[in-house]
Amino acid sequence: MPRFDDISMNLRVDGVNIPEFMAEEDLEKRRITCWVPSQVGKEFQVIADSRNRGRGSWKADVSADGKLARSIGFTKDIEQNIGFCGESTTTARPFMFNKVELVDDDALLHSPHASRIGEIEVACHVIEIVIPGYKNPNYRMSFDGNKKVHERAKKGIAEHIGLGKVVQTSPCTFMKVRTKEHIVTFVFRYRSLAYLQAQGIAPRGPQIEIARDEDGHSSHAKNASDYPPGLKREESEPKIKEEALEESDDENDEEIRVLEAKLEEARARKRKQKGDIRSVSKKVKREEIARFVSGEVIDLT
């Protein structure tokens, strides 16, 4: 698992970490590159882990095939999936390996993204928070993958990064920051396992197994918790190099614990009420007791 300055990144499919091959570290440029196997039709996550860092706020800019998909800022050190495109403040779409269409179109050779097709890049920087959490209900983000690739653009390219189905998420917040020191950039170069083995990048042997559901289909993450809110980029202000980011939901776990505690209290009261009703029914055996209906409303928001 690539790691630098107590920040690690890895790709995960169906809850299983994808193995990395031939990792290289350039200390001068603070850049770590490695190769990973890809599989058409598979959704995947990009897991950022800074739980042991403890050195202040930082951000991650996630690019796929040379195109920025999202920026997310962290005010606390956590482990979180950052591999998706947040299309609005309450919806997200996960990354997916999709099949590319190889074409003989010379215009694609001169595309600014042509040299970066087949790469997932995560650039990490120290940030200074200028304006803390605020809401932006009008936020929209789009990501158009490189569906067509010139047949001579890059050897071994068979997939590109696309997006899966829309997933509902809890509302995200934003913050304005100043980007400061570059920490590290992680680059995952993806190709099919067969290609990596043919090139001697991955060892030959048993195929890498990826979990599937009972119907034999790949099991994609569908829970909103897999797509936590984060800090999304808005318009920059070049003079002071400020930018608006989507804020990571550091307090999500605590909120869940509070709600669960309230729910357990409500269940306990309901059990007690049912016990009182059974006690009354034993004393008045022949008299029909009307069914108890709780009128209490519990606010879990």
Length of the chain: 301
Instruction: Based on the fold, state whether residues 284 and 136 are members of the same structural domain.
Output: no
Return the pLDDT at 124.
96
Neighbours of 203 (CB within 10 A): 10
The residue among 250, 243, 244, 245 whose CA lies nearest residue 228 is 250
Structure tokens at 69: 């998909």
Looking at the structure of the chain, the number of domains it has is: 2
Same-domain check for residues 259 and 111: no
Of the residues 249, 265, 284, which one is the last residue of a structural domain?
Answer: 249
Question: Same domain for 160 and 299?
Answer: no
Closest CA relative to residue 255, chosen from 174, 170, 173 = 170
Please give the backbone phi and psi of residue 225, each rounded to the nearest 5 degrees, phi first. Answer: -65, -20
**Which of 212, 228, 249 is the endpoint of a domain?**
249
Q: Are 175 and 272 contained in the same domain? A: no
123 and 260 housed in the same domain: no
Return the ∠ at Cα 120 (arms to 117 and 125), rounded to 5°: 130
Does residue 223 share a domain with residue 122? yes
Tens digits of per-residue pLDDT, 121-169?
Answer: 999 999 999 998 888 888 888 777 656 666 666 677 788 899 999 999 8
* 25 and 136 share one domain: yes
Check whether residue 124 and residue 219 sit in a common domain.
Answer: yes
The residue-averaged pLDDT of 87-103 equals 87
Looking at the structure, do residues 115 and 185 belong to the same domain, yes or no?
yes
Query: Cα(8)–Cα(48) distance, rounded to whole angstroms?
Result: 6
Contacts of residue 296, Cβ cutoff 8 Å, sequence gap at least 6:
266, 269
| pLDDT tens figures, 172-221 | 889 999 999 999 999 999 999 999 999 999 998 755 554 444 444 433 44
Query: 10 Å Cβ neighbour count for 33?
Result: 18
266 and 151 share a domain?
Answer: no
41 and 67 part of one domain: yes
| Token reading at 19 | 């193995």
- Are 120 and 235 in a shared domain? yes
Domain that residue 102 falls in:
3-249
Dump pLDDT digits (tens) for 42-87: 999 999 999 988 888 999 999 999 889 989 999 888 899 999 988 8
